Amino acid sequence: MPELPEVETVRTGLAPVMEGQKIASTDVNRPDLRWPFPDRMADRLTGAIVLALRRRSKYILADMDTGETLLIHLGMSGRMLISGHTVGDFHHAHPAPAKHDHVVLHLGQGARITFNDPRRFGAMDLMPTAGADDHWLMRDLGPEPFSNAFNEPYLVERLNGRNTPIKSALLDQRIVAGLGNIYVCEVLHRAGIHPARKAGRISATRVAGLVPLVRQVLQEAIAAGGSSLRDYRQADGALGYFQHGFAVYDREGQPCQHAGCPSVIERIVQSGRSSFFCPTCQR
């Protein structure tokens, strides 16, 4: 599932095409994805002007002049693809309709935004912009990793006394929003913390040190266009390439990249998810 860097990369790609543009028409080609689409979604989107695109956790939010916000969740395999628009020196012509093109936004200047989702774990919803933070998918989310609210004292307080593994704690969207399996593995490797260590038994100094590392890893991933492992593509169809710089994720059996470390990367399963780590560098 796309994590914060992938969603932010998609949002950044969509923004110059969508912001300030009118949605001339909307094709909704099925009644649902992971959940049913909202009532009259095509009618409510058609004619609206997109004022701004923003991100909250792993959701893209399109604020419109109608007073509503379109929520987009990419799910496991969702893609937001741009066509009919020139990006740099390249013009992306409209492709032939594809089997899994579930929602298509035809913009006034001729561009097309297609939500393609083969596995149909993605979602779209409409909500009042003024109450977007109270939407059931977002009301319990923790602070954004790049926000002032996500700071060292906050994380120390939230993890104090917790008996859950640190990996699970950092994946808890109520503690920090947007982190997923890939980037938590990478953060914990940089911090030298074993993913199974109980969060409440890690010193306050080491917990505080996670805050800048979270931001560092996410910033590097965003700069690389995210990580393309299976289905993820940027809005222009390009692959991300942060996966080429993974230190531990998906590297089971390969040598640890720390100088002088004799170990190979190991994998354990925590709550149904693979955790990758170095048994020597992470304790």
Model confidence over 109-151: pLDDT tens digits?
A: 899 999 999 999 999 999 999 999 999 999 999 999 999 999 9
29's tokens: 């080609």
Q: Is 2 in the active site?
A: yes
Q: What confidence score (pLDDT) does residue 232 get? A: 41
Tokens of 164: 């859950």
Distances (CA, A) of 142 to 145, 169, 176, 179, 231: 9, 12, 5, 11, 27
Flag whether pLDDT at 88 surpasses 60.
no
Give the pLDDT score at 85: 75
The pLDDT value given to residue 236: 53
Task: Give pLDDT, residue 86.
Answer: 61
Candidate list 55, 56, 58, 233, residue with the active-site label:
58
Q: Which of 120, 198, 267, 273 is catalytic?
A: 273
Per DSSP, the three-state class of 188 is helix
pLDDT at 235: 55
Q: Which residue has the higher pLDDT, 167 or 3?
A: 167
Q: Which residue has the tokens 């001729």?
A: 110
Q: Is the pLDDT of residue 246 over 60?
A: yes
Does the pLDDT value for residue 239 go beyond 60?
no
pLDDT at 233: 47
pLDDT of the residue at 229: 47
Q: 252 is written with which tokens?
A: 């089971």
Q: What is the pLDDT, as a whole number, of residue 227?
A: 58
Average pLDDT over residues 208-225: 92
Query: Can you tell me the mean pLDDT for 211-234?
Result: 76
What are the chain's domains?
A: 4-134 (3.20.190.10), 152-277 (1.10.8.50)
Of 59, 280, 277, nearest to 181 by C-alpha is: 277
Q: Is 3 a catalytic residue?
A: yes
What do you get for the CA distance between the two ends of the chain, in Å?
28
pLDDT digits (tens, 9 = 90+) for 171-214: 999 999 999 999 999 999 999 999 999 999 999 999 999 999 99
For 224-233, b/e burial (b = at least 16 CB within 10 A) is: bbbbbeebbb
Answer whether 1's CB lies under 8 Å from 182's CB: no
pLDDT tens-digit map of 57-76: 999 999 999 999 999 999 98
Residue 84's pLDDT band (boundaries 50, 70, 90)? confident
Q: Give the H/E segment covering residue 154.
A: helix 152-159
Ordered DSSP codes for 108-121: TTS-EEEEE-SS--
**58 an active-site residue?**
yes
Mean pLDDT of the chain: 91
Residues 25 and 80: their CA atoms lie apart, in Å, by 17
Structure confidence at residue 241 as a pLDDT band (50, 70, 90): very low
Question: Residues 2, 5, 145, 195: which is the catalytic one?
Answer: 2
Flag whether pLDDT at 226 surpasses 80.
no
What pTM was computed for the model? 0.88
Angle subtended by helix axes 4-18 and 204-223, to nearest 10:
40
